[in-house]
Amino acid sequence: MEIAVLDINGKETGRKANLSDAVFAIEPNNHAVYLDVKQYLANQRQGTHKAKERAEITGSTRKIKKQKGTGTARAGSIKSGVFKGGGRIFGPRPRNYGFKLNKNVKRLARKSALSIKAGESAVTVLENFSFEEVKTKNFATVLKSLGLDAKKSLFVLAEANENVYLSSRNLKNTEVITTAELSTYKILNANKVVLIEGAVEGIETNLSK
């Protein structure tokens, strides 16, 4: 698959980027995509929720009423969960929501996500660029030139570029990552995936292992 390489002004450079069909034109595997997105979202959960249970409540341990003859249920402690102020019955405890997913499934999911975006013509290849200084206005100009100022966009760099990253940080609909940080969720969550020219080879190498 060939796609025109654009410059930061949104104009064609005259060069073509050759995107591998093994990465950008496969039959999407929806179940692999589902599992990878599910794992990504599960890993975002802190899992620090905690409610006090009966043993952790401060209160008297005396028997609050006699065992028999009251006409009501037996009760041995004011800390019981059936009383106001008592411990929580089966309350949440700290836990890790993450789960294991095989590398081959994750690669298949990323290739499926990229193929979905390529099939929707939502993948753009941009020539390598950088900024001399950190300035949000510079990145906003690039977005406007590409027609992405009102859309969610994901820029994928070949390697970390601090000036480009910091210039984009205040733009809520734009995210800049490297090829190593690419995930199925981030690909699908963006309206447009912008691959920097030097990142294409890195993506294909990572997903062809």
Contact 37, 186 (CB under 8 A): no
**73 vs 67, 190, 205, CA distance in Å?**
9, 58, 68
Q: Give the percent of the chain with pLDDT over 70.
A: 100
Residue 162 pLDDT > 80, yes or no?
yes
Mean of pLDDT values over 186-207: 94
SS (H, E, C) the chain: CEEEEECCCCCEEEEEEECCHHHHCCCCCHHHHHHHHHHHHHHHCCCCCCCCCHHHCCCCCCCCCCCCCCCCCCCCCCCCCCCCCCCCCCCCCCCCCCCCCCHHHHHHHHHHHHHHHHHCCCEEEECCCCCCCCCHHHHHHHHHHHCCCCCCEEEEECCCCHHHHHHHCCCCCEEEEEHHHCCHHHHHHCCEEEEECCHHHHHHHHHCC
Share of the chain above pLDDT 90, in %: 91
| pLDDT higher than threshold 90 for residue 208 | no
Tell whether 51 and 123 lie within a shared domain: no
Each residue's pLDDT tens digit, 105-145: 999 999 999 999 999 999 999 999 999 999 999 999 999 99
The Cα-based distances of 103 to 9, 24, 208 in angstroms read: 38, 18, 12
Q: Are residues 36 and 54 in the same domain?
A: no
What's the mean pLDDT in 55-72? 91
Domain count, the chain: 2
pLDDT computed for residue 149 by the predictor: 87
Tokens 């001399």, located at residue: 132
Given a cut of 80, whether residue 161 has pLDDT beyond it is: yes
53 plus 41 within the same structural domain: no
Q: Beta partners for 125? A: 5, 195
| Same domain flag for 130 and 81 | no
Count CA atoms closer than 13 A to 40's CA, side-chain side.
18
pLDDT score, position 140: 95
Domain that holds residue 202: 2-45+97-207
- pLDDT of residue 174 exceeding 90, the answer is yes
Pair (81, 16) in one structural domain: no
Note whether 120 and 173 are same-domain residues. yes
The average confidence (pLDDT) of the chain is 93
**163 vs 169: CA distance, rounded Å:** 10
Return d(Cα 4, Cα 47) in angstroms, integer.
45
Mean pLDDT, range 185-203, rounded to an integer: 94
For residues 56 and 18, membership in a common domain is answered with no
User: Residue 209 pLDDT more than 80?
Assistant: no
184/187 Cα distance (integer angstroms): 5
pLDDT-derived band at 150 (thresholds 50, 70, 90) equals confident
> With 90 as the cut, is the pLDDT of residue 89 above it?
yes
- pLDDT, residue 154, reads 96
Which CATH number do you get for residue 168? Answer: 3.40.1370.10
Tokens 């975002």 belong to residue: 44
